């Protein structure tokens, strides 16, 4: 995957901000492997308090359960790096905030922690509109820890931008 520049990420954030602001929507993020990096790039944009509600950094399974209501059964049966987990993370973030749109990310940034089924670089995502559409994805990124995390942030933003296209925004 091509590395995207910080300037391009800033432009993606600005586009998403414009759409969120125009519709009166607020965004919440629930992050694990990215450790708050997504919230950071979003809130680097001046005026982000108009549309950014909050971010949850739920690195441990315990945090995912207590802060976002992720089911222990989901974590035991599917694992923290699963589409089932990020769906519950995004739903929990919506439930625990005043937001209308959620992004959740959980993955294995490395250098350790991978397995045959879930190698280092595996990242799961969920994007949800409150009371509306949910989209999930599982992707494997190449590179070292920082590169995997950066690519996850970029992908989360790119997909949010896609979902916020006028034809996909509810209401």
Q: pTM for the whole thing?
A: 0.95
Cβ-based burial of 68 (10 A; exposed 0-12, middle 13-18, buried ≥19): buried
**8 A C-beta contact, residue 117 and residue 110:** no
pLDDT at position 169: 60
> Measured between alpha carbons, how far is 167 from 35 in angstroms, rounded to an integer?
31
For the segment(s) 6-163, the CATH number from 3.40.50.2000, 3.40.309.10, 3.90.950.20, 3.40.1160.10 is 3.90.950.20
Could you state, in chain order, the average pLDDT of each consecutive group of 10 residues for the chain (171 residues)? 84 96 96 98 97 98 98 98 98 97 98 95 97 94 96 97 74 55
pLDDT at position 165: 82
> Measured between alpha carbons, how far is 50 from 132 in angstroms, rounded to an integer?
22
In degrees rounded to 5, what are phi and psi of residue 35?
Answer: 55, 30
pLDDT at position 1: 54
Residues whose CB is less than 8 angstroms from the CB of residue 25 and which lie 6 or more positions away in sequence, other chains included = 19, 51, 99, 100, 101, 169
């Amino acid at each position: 995957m091509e590395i995207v520049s910080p300037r391009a990420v800033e432009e993606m954030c600005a586009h998403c901000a414009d759409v969120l602001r125009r519709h009166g929507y607020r965004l919440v993020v629930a992050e694990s492997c990215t450790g708050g990096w997504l919230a950071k790039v979003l809130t680097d944009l001046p005026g982000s308090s108009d549309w950014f509600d909050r971010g949850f950094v739920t690195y441990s399974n315990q945090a995912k359960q207590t802060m976002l209501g992720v089911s222990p059964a989901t974590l035991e049966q599917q694992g923290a790096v699963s589409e089932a987990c990020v769906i519950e993370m995004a739903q929990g973030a919506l439930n625990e905030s005043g937001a209308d749109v959620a992004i959740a990310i959980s993955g294995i940034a490395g250098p350790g922690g991978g397995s045959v089924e879930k190698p280092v670089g595996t990242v799961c995502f969920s994007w949800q509109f409150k009371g509306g559409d949910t989209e999930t994805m599982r992707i494997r990124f190449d590179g070292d820890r920082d590169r995997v995390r950066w690519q996850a942030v970029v992908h989360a933003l790119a997909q949010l931008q896609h979902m916020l296209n006028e034809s996909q925004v509810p209401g």
